[in-house]
Amino acid sequence: MTLTAPPQSVIANAVTLSGVTKVYGRGSNAVLALDGLTLDVRHGEFVCLVGASGCGKSTLLNLIAGLDRATGGDIQLSQDRAPTLMFQDPALFPWLSVASNVELPLKLRGVPKEERKKRVAELLEVVHLSEFAKRQPHELSGGMRQRVALARTLGQDSPVLLMDEPFGALDAMTRDLLHDELERIWTQRQLTVLFVTHNVREAARLADRIVLLSSRPGRIIYETPVEIPRPRRIDSTEVASLAAEVTDRLRQEVGRHGR
């Protein structure tokens, strides 16, 4: 497997996956997690990956992020800067303030102090947390902690954002508000987003395109563009209808795998 960043003029897609395979273990203990997965993600596109637990969604994000190596196939990125990966757990350092948590990756990259201060202030303004800069993580709600994690992620200035169920642990109202925030930031910054979720309505609410993976080994078995005009509401008839269609496909796959 190769992980390369050819010139932007050569590749029109932000991420190109060609026949990507991932096997864990060897011999009789080997587990095929991904099987020849091919996917193109266009610049500025918001793609949601859905599928049953264990279908390889998170594995795929880890491979694209460079945290793991594929067993076979090819992953191409159109930018030199590695994608940024955001998890469900905000993983904030409890002994650091909100501002210091956001500043940390900038410090690790060697960004000068004065520039870091300015950048942190800008990032906290983006996620509407400027007045909470000096607070500790335990003083924030779950949704606010996820906003801090998002600000920290954006601070890495990657054009490709990988999100692994970032809102899965939040209540419905908070999740809905963060959908609005994420959509606003994605639009303003012209990011490319690859978003993993178990929540099919969330996928229909956010995505330009929904991609459904099979149960292990992970293969693409269905994908559909989301042509519902933005802005969308998660409780709208159009979103509910598309979510029902994708859920039916998902149920068929889970049922097939269970037999």
Average pLDDT over residues 77-97: 90
Query: Would you say the pTM of this structure is higher than 0.95?
Result: no
Ramachandran category for residue 160: left, alpha or beta (phi over 0 → left; psi -120 to 50 → alpha): beta
Average pLDDT over residues 1-17: 61
Average pLDDT, the chain: 90
DSSP the chain: -EEE---TTT--EEEEEEEEEEEES-GGG-EEEEEEEEEEEETT-EEEEE-STTSSHHHHHHHHHTSS--SEEEEEESSSSPPEEE-SS----TTS-HHHHHHHHHHHTT--HHHHHHHHHHHHHHTT-GGGTT--GGGS-HHHHHHHHHHHHHTT--SEEEEESTTTTS-HHHHHHHHHHHHHHHHHHT-EEEEE-S-HHHHHHH-SEEEEEPSSSB-EEEEEE--PPSS--TTSHHHHHHHHHHHHHHHHHHHHHH-
Percent of the chain at pLDDT > 90 equals 75
pLDDT at res. 222: 92
pLDDT at res. 168: 87
**Is residue 209 scored above 60 in pLDDT?**
yes
pLDDT at res. 6: 41
Domain definitions of the chain by residue range: 2-83+158-258, 90-157
pLDDT at res. 2: 43
pLDDT (tens digit per residue) in 17-54? 999 999 998 888 889 999 999 999 999 999 999 988 77
Average pLDDT over residues 155-183: 91
Of 87 and 209, the one with more pLDDT: 209
Average pLDDT over residues 98-103: 96
Alpha carbon distances (Å) from 226 to 38, 219, 245: 20, 20, 12
User: Quick one: 2-83+158-258 is in which CATH superfamily?
Assistant: P-loop containing nucleotide triphosphate hydrolases (3.40.50.300)
Average pLDDT over residues 177-203: 94
pLDDT at res. 150: 93
Average pLDDT over residues 136-159: 93
pLDDT at res. 8: 44
pLDDT at res. 235: 92
